[in-house]
Structure formats: C-alpha cells, structure tokens
Amino acid sequence: MDVDKEYFSNISSRERAIFEGAISMGALFHQFIGTPVNNNTKESLEIAIKNSLKLQPAIEDVEVKINFERLEEALSEFDYTSLNGDMLDVKIYTKVGNVKATIRMEFIEELNYPLMYVEDIED
C-alpha cells in the first residue's frame, strides 16, 4: 500500500510537512509533560525526547533543550520537579518531497505561554 497516495493525496507536500511536525510536537507535549526531571536527568530526557520523535514519519531532525534556569527554579526540596512547557525549547525539522519545515515550541515571556508555531518553511 502506498500510504502517501492513499491517505495524503488531498494535501500538498507543504501542508504535510507542517502536519507531521505539528502532530509530533503535540505528541511530545502530551507525552512528556509531567515527567520527573532534575539536573542529573535533564540531558538523558532531552535525548529520549529527541530519539522518540525522530521515529515519526518525515522527521529529519529534532533539537530539544530543557531550560536549566527554569528547571533550577522549579526543583522541590526532594531535588526534582515535573517537566512543564515553560522549560522546553524544541525544534522539529520535517521534510516531505522538496519541502522542509521547522516547527518550534518555546516559552514566550510576553504571552506567559509555551507557544508552538511554524518557524520556517522552505519550498
């Protein structure tokens, strides 16, 4: 079965590149938010998030950074906290056909919100 022909024939490569990155970003947010984390596990959690997202269709690369300062501020007396959206800075790079998209999530101070958005599209 040709999955692209069967299920994605009604959208452009541009739309699919955005879709694949956005659906992966949503999965990241709802899968990993709440994960226990501290300074000792920060790097391994960044790697786990990156490696799991790279398994998804059309994902070429992923950058994951957990903000050290925000993590430090949130640590409990037990030396850990739960990961939350304001700690994450993530870029997902997708490619469908000749189209490349960069989907990003970062905490925007003015909005007081971890915003997900299309950072770049290359046709």
- How is the chain split into domains, by residue range? 11-122
Helical H segments across the chain, by residue range: 3-7, 13-32, 42-53, 68-74
Q: Compute the distance between CA of residue 62 and CA of residue 68 in angstroms, rounded to an integer.
A: 19
Pairing of strands 88-96, 59-66: antiparallel
DSSP 56: S
Query: The domain at 11-122 falls in which architecture?
Result: 2-Layer Sandwich (3.30)
Q: How confident is the model at residue 88, as a pLDDT?
A: 98
Q: How confident is the model at residue 86, as a pLDDT?
A: 96
Q: How confident is the model at residue 10, as a pLDDT?
A: 93
Report residues of the chain scoring pLDDT below 70: none
